[in-house]
Amino acid sequence: MEKPVIIGIGYTRIGEHWEKSLRELAVEAALMALDNAGVNRVDAIYVSNMMSGALQEQEHLGSLIATYLGLKGTPACKIEAACASGGMAIHQAFLAVASGYYDTVLVVGVEKMTDRLTSEVTFALAMAEDREYVVSTGATFVGLNALLYRLYLTKFNVDQKSIAKFPVIAHENALNAPHAQLKRKISVEDVLSSPIIADPIHLFECAPIGDGAAALVIASPKAAKESQKDTYIELAGSAAATDIMSLHERLDLLTLFASVKASQKAYKMAKVKPSDIDILEVHDAFSILAPIALEDLGFAKKGEGWKMIENMDVSLSGNLPTNTMGGLKARGHPVGATGIYQAVDAILQLKGEAGKNQVDNPTLALLQSTGGVGGTVVVNILKKR
């Protein structure tokens, strides 16, 4: 099997785009990706999005975006896997191109959240959990992640200051990311003195609400050669997995089984191991997810992921630079587009185009895209060719 390659990227700044609609954001990013790839047509379009039905009262995004791109006749559909929608769209494009059925696929992720009240967005986000048996009790995503956080602190006897360093690092990285939403330096003291949203999670440990779109053109090696690109980014490994959806039914709350399974499959496909990875993009919608991800992906022993944060191993100058453009916490988290933004950030690093945030000569990047509280996880491994 020839591995697909990424030949074009596009993205908008993440923030409050009052003047742009969901379709306008998606088209802006998509046109940038097509232009970057040097193509004007593709064989298929996958649109990753979670909440357009709830927030814009608009579904059928595949046809909508194809229409406004002027690509009549192109097969297109929406792909939804909660916050893992972007990662899943990349995975589906990987399968479609690797199978030989399509030569080029446009993947565009988009979410428009700021036009609605926070309570409405919170309600829509909760659709990623079991509405009938969990959300009906009043549970929210921040509340569910707070349960993990409290258990992690207690079970492993961890000082919360160590985990609170992760959003501090994220904000530091976002300062020089032109597309980041939150360009503000913060301290551990700022994090721990910010309002508690669900004990022990503070406001500055949560990803913000924002609008944005990002896009990729994924192609076969043959199609990539025709585009005459000098540098290719290979999708060396791509795998998806699910876990039991709700926390109360799981045997181990502090291991996201889907993350473990998907990463193991992706490592095997790419023929690499955790120690080979140069840069990492993890799903840090809440700060506690960062140390858990480091453990589940094989970079730290169980209960010791926080040590990598405490020791600054995940900073730009550390052994494993992580979320180098600010991650969900500071770059932003427009849900359906987040997995695509992770790929964009990693590609900028691999191509040496990350500006002041550039890591020294990276060749391998791992992206972890998580839906719900680990109900779905997609792991994509990118390799510079």
Query: Which of the residues are catalytic?
Result: 83, 333
What CA–CA distance (Å, rounded) separates 331 from 323? Answer: 9
The end-to-end CA distance of the chain, in Å, is 16
- Burial class of residue 213 (count of CB atoms within 10 Å of its CB; 0-12, 13-18, 19+): buried
Please give the order of strands across the beta sheet that includes 212-219: 76-79, 44-48, 104-111, 212-219, 5-11, 233-242, 376-384, 364-371, 279-281
- Burial class of residue 185 (count of CB atoms within 10 Å of its CB; 0-12, 13-18, 19+): exposed
DSSP secondary structure code for residue 357 in this structure: G
CA 354, 360, 363, 364 torsion: positive or negative? negative
Closest CA to 194 of 183, 180, 208: 208
Closest CA to 97 of 10, 215, 223, 241: 223
What CA–CA distance (Å, rounded) separates 77 from 109? Answer: 12
What CA–CA distance (Å, rounded) separates 5 from 30? Answer: 17
